[in-house]
Chains A and B, each alone.
Chain A
């Protein structure tokens, strides 16, 4: 990715982290508070591969770890989202469609609180518990899938740039059939 795209992606991650903490988390959503950063990390992973997915996950988690209030050790979200970014990229394909991407985002959204709580247990935080994370998993999956439908195309545009216009593909197909 060019430097300009990397910077733009960084700005998007910081803004998304702030929106998560200021706009999304204070509201009482049915089921669970949607996580805006998981669909973004999934989008980067599907569009740019495992290394980019892991790096984007690390950066997104870093933003969540330092933006106030951040009542947990610095690095916890970075670990979880870097791992999820990498794994999602392995399961994705170059031409992942919307449904495929939304399913992967749903899985990542359900896994993120689970991994976060597991890491909290490992770090010795008495509040971390897997039961609460499991309760939230269906709602988190639904919210992540919903957000992914809107977020994934935008992230693909940001990471890869605009793809060839549809006319070009049809022309190539026609030329190939004619030969």
Chain B
């Protein structure tokens, strides 16, 4: 055994106290106004281009690894996407046929809940390891690209989370499976509302507000919509119910929800970038 000396114990003590102090300071303030934010911002500025480059270089490795573990899922996903594509193209043609004048088109997009917003595409460049209990990812779009904090992030399947911290060229996204994430949702078929919290293991826990709400496995959930559409516009697909348990007598049912997005294979995502609302839209109360 190597014996430790007094000087090495002292050095260890200094390092541990220093690290604990930093962590305590950082955890007591929010992510943006922590005194250590400049350190993270500097690191983000330096490291995020390297991460983007590394993603590109490592694509043969990560693609093969992901491909091997998800080959069957990918085939099924391609199949489902092709069918969805055909259905959506048909819907689009029907909608265009029915849109007689600009007033009708405006009310259609407002009902969709993303009026006055565009979707900025981005890629996932970093993921927190799963034994560090936070479900966060970083994307290669930042303040330079118009991304702002507290906006929704989605992929082809549905909602994946919201932006928590924005740096010049990268942003951190809190996934909806993180226990700290809480999304207002509505059951698509019945219109009942509830909240969806992350469970930390890839699923979500849904709690309904109405004690007499009816829930069944397979029910589809969409976002309820936040005021002004921030962070969540209404109507975004979120997930479907896996299993339902009865909560306490006074509370509504509780369900385990499988999010539509496959968080193990996130790559291309879209960030909602709100446009500043014009006075005419604001007066009409464009977004619920």
* Interface assignment of A132: CB less than 8 Å from any CB of chain B: yes
A contacts with B, residue count (CB < 8 A): 62
Partner of B19, one of A51, A66, A75, A140: A75
The answer to whether B167 and A93 touch across the interface, beta carbons within 8 angstroms, is: no
Q: How far is the CA of A19 from the CA of B53 in the complex (A)?
A: 11
Q: Is the CB of B23 within 8 A of A68?
A: no
Q: Pick the contact of B23: A50, A55, A75 (CB < 8 A).
A: A75
Are B180's CB and A68's CB within 8 A?
no
Q: Is the CB of B19 within 8 A of A127?
A: no
Which residues of B lie under 8 Å from residue A61 when comparing CB positions? 19
Is chain A's binding surface mostly helix, strand, loop or mixed? Answer: helix
Q: Do residues B174 and A79 form an inter-chain contact, with CB atoms below 8 A?
A: no
**A-B pairs with CB below 8 Å: how many?**
207
Q: Evaluate contact between B136 and A22: CB separation under 8 angstroms.
A: no
Q: Could you tell me how many residues of chain B have their Cβ less than 8 Å away from some Cβ of chain A?
A: 68
Query: Can you list, as one digit per residue, whether each of A40-74 has a CB less than 8 Å from chain B (1) or not (0)?
Result: 00000000011100110110010000111111111
Query: With A and B bound together, what is the CA distance between A123 and B27 in angstroms?
Result: 7
- 9 interchain pairs, CB-CB under 8 A: A22-B54, A26-B127, A33-B131, A51-B11, A72-B132, A74-B26, A78-B23, A89-B4, A119-B23
Chain B residues with CB under 8 Å of chain A are: 1-4, 7-8, 11-12, 15-16, 18-27, 34, 36, 39-40, 43-44, 47-48, 50-51, 54-55, 58, 61-62, 65-66, 69-70, 124-138, 164, 167, 170, 172-174, 178-180, 200-201, 264-266
A binding-site residues for B, Cβ under 8 Å: 18-28, 32-33, 35, 49-51, 54-55, 57-58, 61, 66-79, 82-83, 86, 89-94, 112-113, 116-117, 119-120, 123-129, 132-133, 136, 140
